[in-house]
Amino acid sequence: MPNSKIISIGDEILIGQIVNSNAAFISEKLYSIGLPVRQIISIGDTEDDLINELYDSVNNYEVTIITGGLGPTHDDITKPVLTKYFNDELILNENVLENVKNIFQSRGFTMPGVNVEQAMIPKSCNIIWNPNGTAPGMSFEKEGRFIISLPGVPFEMKEMMNNSVIPMLHEKFKNQINYVLKSKTFLTFGLGETFLSEMIGDEKEITGENNKMAYLPSAVGVRLRVDVKADNEDDATVKLQEIEGRLRSKVGDYIFGINEDKLEKIVGELLIKQSLTIAFAESCTGGMLSGKITDIPGSSVYFKGGIVCYSNESKISLLAVKDSTINNNGAVSKETAIELAENVRIKMNSDIGISITGIAGPAGGSDEKPVGMVWIGYSDGKETFTKKYLFGENRERTRLRSATAALDIVRRKLLNLPI
C-alpha cells in the first residue's frame, strides 16, 4: 500500500498561533484515493529541518505534501530549500509572472517588485497553478517518489488539492492501488466515550475483520469514525451500510448525524418537515442557542426568535416569570425553567418554547447548586418538562453543552425518542 506524509511549515504552527487545519484536509483527500497518511510533521522555518524531512520522505513515502513557506518574504524557505535539495536552479516563468501581475491588477494594485520572486520556479518541477493566489505549487518526482509543495493559505491550498493534486496522484497510482478505502463518521450526543463503548460492546462484532472504528470525543459529543477496506467501491459501500446497521441497533438514539452534519441543521429540517416553529429563552447561554439556529440558511421559516433574559429582572419583565417563583426557587431551578419555556412560546406565538437557565461560572455556585448546573425547559402547549444537567466547572463548555443539549432535546422530542 503506498503511503503518504504531510510536512507543515511555519513557526506560527509550532507556537500555537494557528491551528493546523490544512493537515486534516489533506489527510482526508489522500485517504479518499487510497494514499493514507502515515506521518504528519510540523516544522519551523528552518532549512536544516526541511532538508532532513525531505531525505526521510524520499526514503520512506511515495507521496509527500508540503504546505507553507511559499511567500515572497525572507522567512519563506520552501522553494529555495527544494531547489537546493534537488540540485536545481531557479528560472523565470513568464506565465507565472503574468498570473501574479493579473492577480494584483484584478485587486486594484500594482505588483510590488518583491513578488517577481514568486515567478522564479525550479527548472525541474511541474507547476501546479494557483487560481486564487500569487504562489504557484510545485511537484517534483525523484525515484518514483512525489514531493508536492503547496501554499499554506487554506482556500488556495484546498482548490489546488481538489482540482490538480488529487486527480494527478490518482492517475499516477491507480495501477498500484487495487483497493478502496472508505470512511464514515457517526455524530453522537448524550453519552460519554466510556458509556458509549460499553453500549457498543466488542468492536469487531460491529466492524468485522480488517475494518476499524475510532472514538473521537469532544466537549459536545463523541464522533465514531468507521474505516473500511474493500476490493471496489460497491463492496466498500455495502460494508459501511452493514456496519451502520449494527451500530444503530446499539446506540441509534444517540446518533444525530453523519460526517459534517450539524445538530442545528438536523433540528431545523425536522421542524420544517413537521411544520413547527420554535422560540428560545436564554439566560446563561446569552443567545448562543439562537446563534446556532440562525447559522442555518432558511431558519426564518421555523425560528420565531429568542430572548436573552440574563438577569432576574429581565426574566420577570420580558417573560413574566413570577417574582415568587424566583424568590422561592431561584433563577436556576426547575420552576423558573418551566415558566420561561411556557412564556416564551406564548409570547413569540411559536409551537415550541425552549428555556436555558444555569450557573456557567466560575463564580455563583453553591453546594446545592454547583457551577455547571443547568436546567433546560421544553414546552409545546401539550407538554411541559425540564431536565437538569451538571456540565462541570468550565464556563465555555457549560454554555456550549447547554445549547447543544437543548437542540438534542428538541431532536428527540420530534423523533419520539426517550429524553
pLDDT digits (tens, 9 = 90+) for 93-150: 888 888 878 888 887 888 787 778 788 899 999 999 998 888 899 999 988 899 999 9
What CA–CA distance (Å, rounded) separates 189 from 223? 9
Whether residues 89 and 135 fall in one domain: yes
What CA–CA distance (Å, rounded) separates 160 from 179? 25
Whether residues 244 and 268 fall in one domain: no
Confidence of residue 383 (pLDDT cuts 50, 70, 90): very high
Note the pLDDT tens digit of each residue in 304-339: 999 999 999 999 999 999 999 999 999 999 999 999
C-alpha cell read off for 246: 449494527
Residue 419 lies in a domain: no
Contact 352, 362 (CB under 8 A): no
Q: What is the pTM of this model?
A: 0.84
CA-only gyration radius of the chain, Å: 27
Give the number of C-alpha atoms closer than 13 A to the C-alpha of residue 227, restricted to the C-beta side: 11
Residue 214 lies in a domain: yes
Q: With left for phi above 0 and alpha for psi between -120 and 50, is residue 113 left, alpha or beta?
A: alpha
Whether residues 233 and 208 fall in one domain: yes
pLDDT of residue 254: 98
Q: Which of 156, 173, 190 is the last residue of a domain?
A: 173
Range ranked top by mean pLDDT from 14-18, 120-124, 341-345: 341-345
Whether residues 13 and 144 fall in one domain: yes
Whether residues 272 and 143 fall in one domain: no
Closest by CA to 343, choosing from 329, 362, 357, 359, is 357
Whether residues 27 and 161 fall in one domain: yes
Place of cell 446518533: 255
State how many domains the chain has.
3
Whether residues 293 and 251 fall in one domain: no
Contact 418, 412 (CB under 8 A): yes
Give the number of C-alpha atoms closer than 13 A to the C-alpha of residue 417, restricted to the C-beta side: 15
Domain coverage including residue 275:
263-414
What CA–CA distance (Å, rounded) separates 297 from 63? 39
C-alpha cell read off for 111: 505588483
Whether residues 243 and 311 fall in one domain: no
Whether residues 253 and 155 fall in one domain: no
Pairing of strands 212-218, 255-258: unpaired
Residue 287 has pLDDT above 90, yes or no: yes
